Structure formats: structure tokens, C-alpha cells
Amino acid sequence: MSDMLKKKLSPVQQEYQDFAKQREPQRPVLRNVIWAFFVGGTICLFGQLIQDFFLWNFDFTEKTAGNPAVAILILLSVLATAFGVYDHLAQHAGAGTAVPVTGFANSIASAALEHRSEGFVLGVGGNMFKLAGSVIVFGVVAAFVVALIKILLGGT
């Protein structure tokens, strides 16, 4: 707790805050970081294996193999979310499951599943895009700004 907030507390409240802080369990930060690193790395490795599968078996180029690989990762992430596997993994791996594509797909699918009782349009569609809308708008605006900078600097 910050010192400024501590000054506003009564002596009894300060004593309770100190007592609660002593009783709070210590978090295994190093173990959590290592676990998140390996889970996130495993997801990325799996994505790379999918991309290599398309490179070797379907005569894709390195540039074009990424698109179906990302689509498969999104599909698998949504399926894992629908069956409750992804959320269970996220409880143990934390930020390791927030790898951009799979983490974003999980958050969209979770919002859709949570509000499906409200109907498909207002429930699923409306609440799903409350989360996704800001991310999509930010991505479009960022892409526009980067392209504009590239054009102004003389790039093609």
C-alpha cells in the first residue's frame, strides 16, 4: 500500500493492513515466470511446426504459409476455450497463454460463450466485439500511421 494511503488510515486500520500483509502468501514469481515462458514458447513452437507443415507438404512459400498456420492456431484456441481447456491452462501458465493470436482468440471466444444466452446478435456479437473492437481499431490505426510514415520517408 502506498505511504499516502497509509497516512489516511486510522491506527487500527494501519495495524490491520500490516497484519494482513504478514499473512499474505508469498507468490512463487520465478516459478511462474519460468512456467509462463515454457508454455508460451510451446504454443509458439507448435505454431512454427504448423507453418513448417504447410511449407513442406503444400508447397507454400514462407510468406504464404503463415496465414493458414495462424488460422489453425485460432481455430485450436477457440476449440480449447469452448471445451474449457484453454482457461484451465491459463490459470496455471498465466501470461504464457497470452501469446497474441491464441490469447486474443481465447478472449473473443470467452466473451462469446459468456453472453450466448442473450442471443446471437446482441449477446454473442455485441459483447464479443466490445473487446475486439478496440483491438481491431488500434491495429487499423497503427497500420495506417506506419504506412503513412513509410510513404513520407520515401519507402515503397
Asked whether 133 and 79 are in contact (CB, 8 A), the reply is no
**DSSP codes joined into one string, 9-39:** S-HHHHHHHHHHHHHSPPP-HHHHHHHHHHH
The reported pLDDT for the residue numbered 61 is 92
The reported pLDDT for the residue numbered 42 is 92
Residue 63 lies in a domain: yes
pLDDT band at 7 (very low <50, low <70, confident <90, very high): low
The reported pLDDT for the residue numbered 4 is 56
What's the pTM?
0.68
Domain that holds residue 142: 28-154
Average pLDDT of the segment spanning 120-134: 73
For residue range 12-71, list pLDDT tens digits in order: 888 898 888 888 888 888 998 999 999 999 999 999 999 999 999 998 999 899 999 999
Residue 41 lies in a domain: yes
The CA-atom distances, in angstroms, between 7 and each of 2, 13, 22, 42, 81 are: 9, 10, 19, 47, 45
Least confident among 9-13, 17-21, 120-124: 120-124
The CA-atom distances, in angstroms, between 136 and each of 30, 70, 76 are: 33, 16, 21
Residue 60 lies in a domain: yes
For residue range 77-106, list pLDDT tens digits in order: 999 998 989 988 888 888 888 877 888 888
